[in-house]
Amino acid sequence: MKHEFGKWPESCWQSDIIDWKKAAKITAGLDIGTTSCQAAVMCDGELFAYANIRTGADFKLAAADVLTKALGSSGMTAKDISCVTATGFGGGNVAGAAQRLDEIQCHGKGARYLFGKEVRTVIDLGGQTVKTIRLFGWDRVADFKTSDKCATGFGRNIEVMSDIFLVPITEIGAKSLDVEKDPEPSSTTCYNFAQSEAYGLMRPGYREQDYNDNEILASYLFTVAWRALSTIGKIASLDVGDVKLEEGVGFTGGLAKNPGITKRLERELGFTAMEPKYDPMLAGAIGAALLAS
Amino acid sequence: MQNFSQLFENRHEYAKEWKKRTGGKVLGFFDTYFPEELAYAAGILPVRIMAKHYADDTTDRLMYGNCYVTRDMFNQFNLGYYDYVDGLVSIESCQWWYNAFDTTMQMFPNLWSYYLFTPDYPDANRSKDVMRSELALMKGKLEEWTGKAISDADLDNAIEVYNTNRRLLRRIYELRRFNNPVILGSEAMEIMLACQVMDKAEANKMLEELIPKLEDREPYEDRVRFILIGSETYDAELEKLIEGLGGNVVIDELDNGSAYIWNEVIPMKDRLMAIGLRYMSKPHSALKDNVWRRRPEHIFELSEDFQVDAAIIAKQIYCHPHGTDMYAVWKLLQERKIPYHTFERDTTLPYEETRMGIEALINMVKPGMTRLNGWSS
């Protein structure tokens, strides 16, 4: 049997408290990313159902699939949804979407739902990009910065690292923290080069003092965290009222579930991130659903 | 409008036809500091070499590490697109451009070539004198090459033709200043690009016919107004993308945009000094904006004059002059509370990432036209 350590668990959920038939307005948001897709269905502004799956090679298929999975056996069909909004890198591939919105607005809006109105800084650690969004207290984006076009150093690369080290992706963060001290960061976040470097570090005698696997992972995840840090630094000084950067920070995206990244970011920036109400990967989809009109 | 756009698409055919018609020589140049008036006065057609994104299997070995713009310039010579060019000029500019020039000359040694030194500190006391002496040297070399003496009358004519062209293109820019402009950024950029590969006298005739028609046009609907800053671009794809998302580039600070036409040659008895002064006092390129750092303030003035809502900074990947320049521009934009978005591009656009960033910026600044509402206050 082939082990695919980089595969993270897909999920779906429907509320057993909300009766969708009584809802005055049902909207859906689909966040079709390069690595993962999410669908969120909102009934009168409250989360009724969601699904979170891997995108695969076909955006269109993934978009149809994720909504079907979100609706599950709830009895709701696509026809019951008054408005579907798409976002994400593959957002143009959603059949039946009434509108397409940019990821920044959607993640900002979704983060306010996940973390509450106190959130002022959203750090979206995605499969291909990292986006840092600063929000005004009144539901509006104050500024944002994104990483450059190259995907180096984000979610997709952690999947690759999991496969190299034969460590399930859900455990990779904890293992990277199981070191006495963070070793030197790897010299690159590019996963092609980082793979070569990792293979080198795994070989006895490559360094004067050999790294164990956890230390190599720590070295790489430390570098990834640093890369995310650069986008945060660009807008850290932005004035959004009386709220400082370290207050009201929320992580979204797949890497928000990787403590190897989040704990290092918290340590470097000197804050403790807010806890989301639901899966932090849902921020974009929830935001899209809330912005659907 | 369409004439300019078609002409730009068929620029190689245009230059070949010009050569056939006039019997003149074509001189390729890269940089905006090249004093085209001198070549024009010698009866030469100066043609700006512009990058595209053709398949390339050679430059990686010969020009490793260069930006794609300069690599593609050499690549196009290699592919034969510039087979009608008789000579090539390089200016004291960025090292990538020099490398493109050097590599091209190594591979095509039969091309006439000239390296023109232009001072790196245009505002320095002696720069104008240095520039003048360099122009005198170049004038002599051009006379030697063409076998024709360049008279004062030739220089006066060239200065007048080029000044007229700048004035007419400036009028196109002025049409973009209105609240509901009659011309979009992409249309203006296509005109600008076409003018840089054309005989300016012919371009002027076309512009004189076009401008009254533009003035009578129905204005476009109100859009988010942008200033475009950054490395050179050789198409209007970015402007078109911005327009598709509900924005409009109303002004730019690009070497082959506004910086190409923003000031004129002020006629003087010493023609070479007059030309030299024009190039030394033009809006500085990122590479030559040394010590005095005039670019950020110039960018701010343009932003104010054209009432922009936000700035877009598009840097070519591996472009070190703009990589250095960006920090000063960011600082000023932050201080003056002008929202901006920066991204790196190749000669082509990374479409999805660019779209996401620009769409987010438009949505961020759109509600209530932010500058009036006190953005980030």
pTM summary value: 0.87
Across all residues in chain B, what is the average pLDDT?
A: 92
Residues B367 and A140 sit within 8 Å (Cβ to Cβ): yes
The SS3 assignment for B344 reads: strand
Q: Which residues of A touch B343 (CB under 8 A)?
A: 146, 148-149
CA–CA distance, B271 with B237 (Å, rounded to integer): 38
Put simply, the answer to whether A146 touches B350 (Cβ < 8 Å) is no
pLDDT band per the 50, 70, 90 thresholds, residue A140: confident
CA–CA distance, B217 with B194 (Å, rounded to integer): 21
> Is the pLDDT at A234 greater than 70, yes or no?
no
The CATH number assigned to the domain holding A53 equals 3.30.420.40
Q: What is the rounded average pLDDT of the residues B186-208?
A: 97
pLDDT (tens digit per residue) in B30-61 = 999 999 999 999 999 999 999 988 888 888 88
Residues A128 and A35 sit within 8 Å (Cβ to Cβ): yes
Pair A262, A283 in one domain:
no
Any idea which residue has 């500085």 for tokens? Answer: B284
Q: Which residues of B touch A110 (CB under 8 A)?
A: none
The answer to whether residue A218 is domain-embedded is: yes
Which of B334, B343, B364 minimises the CB distance to A141?
B364
* ipTM tops the 0.85 cut: no
pLDDT (tens digit per residue) in B318-336 = 898 998 898 899 989 988 9
Residue B335 contacts A, CB cutoff 8 Å: no
CA–CA distance, A88 with A76 (Å, rounded to integer): 24
The answer to whether residue A147 is domain-embedded is: no
Question: Six-digit token pair at A215?
Answer: 């230390």
B57 CB neighbour count, 10 Å cutoff: 8
> Is the pLDDT at B376 greater than 50, yes or no?
no
Question: Six-digit token pair at B233?
Answer: 């671009």
> Is the pLDDT at A1 greater than 60, yes or no?
no
pLDDT (tens digit per residue) in B89-133 = 999 988 899 999 999 999 999 999 999 999 999 999 999 999 999
Which of B339, B344, B364 minimises the CB distance to A149?
B344
Pair A218, A283 in one domain:
no
CA–CA distance, A264 with A229 (Å, rounded to integer): 10
β-bridge partners, A143: A134
Residue B344 contacts A, CB cutoff 8 Å: yes
Pair A73, A16 in one domain:
yes
Total domains in the fold of chain A: 2
B348 CB neighbour count, 10 Å cutoff: 12
CA–CA distance, A141 with B137 (Å, rounded to integer): 56
Pair A50, A109 in one domain:
yes
Pair A230, A285 in one domain:
no
The SS3 assignment for B113 reads: strand
CA–CA distance, B139 with B312 (Å, rounded to integer): 39
Report A:79-108 residues touching B (Cβ under 8 A). Answer: 89, 101-105
Q: Which string of DSSP letters, residue by residue, matches B150-191?
A: --HHHHHHHHHHHHHHHHHHHHHHHTTSSSS-SS-HHHHHHH
Pair A103, A180 in one domain:
no
The answer to whether residue A59 is domain-embedded is: yes
The answer to whether residue A217 is domain-embedded is: yes
Put simply, the answer to whether B376 touches A239 (Cβ < 8 Å) is yes
Put simply, the answer to whether B339 touches A143 (Cβ < 8 Å) is yes
> In the prediction, which pLDDT does B101 show?
94
Residues B129 and B121 sit within 8 Å (Cβ to Cβ): no
The answer to whether residue A149 is domain-embedded is: no
Pair A208, A252 in one domain:
yes
> In the prediction, which pLDDT does A235 show?
67
Residues B339 and B375 sit within 8 Å (Cβ to Cβ): yes
Pair A242, A283 in one domain:
no
The answer to whether residue A231 is domain-embedded is: yes
Residue B376 contacts A, CB cutoff 8 Å: yes
Q: Please report how many Cα atoms fall inside a 13 Å half-sphere around the Cα of residue A78, on the Cβ side.
A: 17
Range of the domain at A95: 11-116+278-291
CA-angle at B243, arms to B221 and A293, nearest 5°:
75
Put simply, the answer to whether B364 touches A104 (Cβ < 8 Å) is yes
**Whole-Å CA distances, B214 to B30, B258, B260, B312:** 30, 19, 21, 26
The answer to whether residue A135 is domain-embedded is: no
Q: Which residues of B touch A142 (CB under 8 A)?
A: 364, 375-376
pLDDT band per the 50, 70, 90 thresholds, residue B369: very low
Which of A101, A146, A240 minimises the CB distance to B357?
A146
Q: Which residues of A touch B350 (CB under 8 A)?
A: 149
Q: In chain A, whose CA is at the least distance from the CA of B330?
A: A234
CA–CA distance, B250 with B228 (Å, rounded to integer): 8
Residue B270 contacts A, CB cutoff 8 Å: no
The SS3 assignment for B331 reads: helix
> Is the pLDDT at B262 greater than 80, yes or no?
yes
Pair A242, A260 in one domain:
yes
Which of A146, A231, A237, A239 would best serve as a mutation to test chain B binding (most B beta carbons within 10 A)?
A146
Residues A213 and A202 sit within 8 Å (Cβ to Cβ): yes
The answer to whether residue A4 is domain-embedded is: no
Nearest in space to B161 (alpha carbons), one of B172, B169, B171, B151: B169
Residue A32 contacts B, CB cutoff 8 Å: no
Which secondary structure element, helix H or strand E, spans residue B345, and what is its range?
Answer: strand B340-345
Pair A161, A109 in one domain:
no
Ranked by mean pLDDT, the top range of A22-26, A136-140, A213-217 is: A22-26
Pair A94, A170 in one domain:
no
Pair A176, A262 in one domain:
yes
Angle of the A155-165 helix axis to the A169-177 helix axis, nearest 10: 80
Burial tier of A209 (Cβ tally within 10 Å: 0-12, 13-18, 19+): exposed
Residues B39 and B31 sit within 8 Å (Cβ to Cβ): no
